[in-house]
Structure 1
Amino acid sequence: MKFGVVIFPGSNCDRDMLDALQYDLNQEVVPLWHKSEDISAFSTEDCIVLPGGFSYGDYLRCGAIARFSPVMKQVIEFANNGGKVYGVCNGFQILCESGLLPGALLRNERQQYICKNLFIKPDGFYKEQLKDDPERFQEVYKIPIAHGEGRFYANPQTLEELKANGQILFRYCDASGNETPESNPNGAIDNIAGISNAGRNVFGMMPHPERACSAVLGNEDGKKILTSLLMARQLVS
């Protein structure tokens, strides 16, 4: 399996993602510049990653300009053909702006940038399939966040569809797995921290698992998430 990590002007987590995939997960990784108009080297068995940062300075809205980068036309086509696409933080925002994922990421409830470790738990179809992988399944994962516009919102109809289809991947919780207002860092609707598309091949989340992939950093929970979410073929049905 091969990974392509897209680098936009303003991306600042691309190196973190490249290193986590290459050195912590031992995968083949290729940097992709935002002006690239050819990603034909990647098959639908591979994965394109949109990393965190401040693409195009977050002008207009987070991800609003990056959505029109030349490479995104190829990424959208790649996803529509069944290839895996994964967005973290700003990458999640870009996926929502591009229509590859439903909903939107709004300003944090308290209008403040947040950077800290917190807890999330798996949900939906991802949780059900993780139960068959006891080496990676945990009720709660400790993962860092760093965002100012991470409050996930979807209208009531879309929210019900996400629930019915099992598309909610992660919810914010406390260390014991309880979903509480205090464990929700940004006011996201239903404590949602990550979702997928209906086809289960496009994933977005606000927390940064690539920053929790090394024993040297004292946390490898992110490594378990990246491995089970991006490299488990049974997630695509």
Structure 2
Amino acid sequence: KSGWAALFTVGLMLVLLLWLTPALYHVPQSVLAAVVITAVSGLIRPATLPRLWRVSRVEAMIAAVTWALTLATAPRMYWGVLVGLLMNLSHFLYLRLHPRIIEVGLHPDGSLRDRHLWNLPPLAPRLLALRMDAELDFASASALERRVTEHLAAHPDVLHLCLLAQPMNRIDVTGVETFAQLLALMQSRGGSLHLSGLKLPAEQVLRQAGLLDGLALHRTDTDALAALRRLPETACPTAA
């Protein structure tokens, strides 16, 4: 029922492999085979793959390839496990390197949603409001910086940047450097950088780096919208 169970199992297996394997010498191989089959029979669940396909086709393909290679390379089954591990790791890194970054707009129900998906107007004429659904770390920082710089290059009239930081549970050193670059970029344009909903662990990192003094920090999205309405060169729409 807890993580200690896994540690106990690992310790027990080490003891068996190191000191008790001679006791298995006289056990017939058919009995050992029955033990192995009984242990792994519960792992064979064909109905799981169709359900996994409906949830995530990429993960379903990884599972199918791992299963097929494990059978094809038997008795050297570690090749199938190794390929499955590498495919899973590659998929994980791809998701970390390509986080979901959306420009938000004010929905008629009062929530902030994907502006382009819902065909919403921008929060303000000279404002870029973004939400990145990931931690601000070495994997996602470059994607955020690229998204901001590309938008500013295409819209030179933008003066203010607002980051909805609720999903940012952690900021590492690379994230701090990227954040400092974005802050300097907006200040060089004569504008400002706003943060909304920053959580305490991320706030402590930015405070220790001395970056909170040069930006506007808002506890909630409502506070951020109210502050953006007071900017002389922006005019936010009224919440529904």
Normalised to the residue count of structure 1, the TM-score between the two structures is 0.33
Higher relative contact order (CA 8 A, sep 6+): 1
Q: Which has the higher strand share?
A: 1
Q: Which has the higher helix share?
A: 2
